[in-house]
Structure 1
Amino acid sequence: MNAFLYPLSYSLTKVQLPLIPVEVKDKYLSFILDTGSTCSLIDSNVVEYFKDIVEPVEDYYINGIEGTKHKVDMITLPFTFEGQTYKPKFCVKPLLNAFKGIEDESGIQVHGLLGTDFLLENKWIIDFKELKISNNNE
């Protein structure tokens, strides 16, 4: 796997969140890097838009912040980031309303979250001191 170093300073300045742009079939999507989420999430409208390349995995249960379990579909959707292709698993939820405030304030539409499952699997390092992410696994 190729090592990369990606600056987070722009998104942290613009929306106070660690956002990354990923490419799916010549379209760009924005994802929040979320160390508090054990499951990566993607908006159900995005899944519908890319239904020709989405692969269903299984049903999955997530615990909401209020402590209740929610059944969600799980899919894979391949994307490219910094020249590397990834095929993460995502829990599918309607998210656009949850991210509407970010879009209204910044003009940036957020399409999902990359949680600790993705970060651990791909050995990504979030460095808030240097405001960058990397996957230099040496």
Structure 2
Amino acid sequence: MTRQAAEALIARYYAAFNAGDAKGMLDCVAEDVEHRVNEGGIRRGRARFAEFCGHMGVSYREELKDLVIFANAEGTRGAAEFVVHGEYLQTDPGLPEAKGQIYVLPAGGFFEISGGKIVRVTTFYNLNDWIRQVSA
């Protein structure tokens, strides 16, 4: 895969995210995708990733802005930097109570790509900053 193809795959993944299109996101990932969540565990497989997407769609409404995507020359690794503009809709267990709070949070994603699909996605953001924003 080329750098341009990898960047296009990541762009398609995030366009689907912004559209609330879980199927579109799933189309970008491999069957055995590894999803590493900020300060959380590792989800393995499309079924677990689909569960996560479903949960996110109920608990949060988010749009990623100022998206910048990078990939290596071989198209096997990529990264994205963006700002999450979100609304906290339904309380997530172990987190503050949801009351429709608005938040703006810098974040990033790191990708491993193989066979034209995302095989690993790792997401990073400052959880303490998010908690501060939704608790204010």
- Please tell me the TM-score bracket, short chain as reference: under 0.3
Which has the bigger relative contact order, CA under 8 A and spacing at least 6?
Answer: 1
Richer in helix (by share) = 2
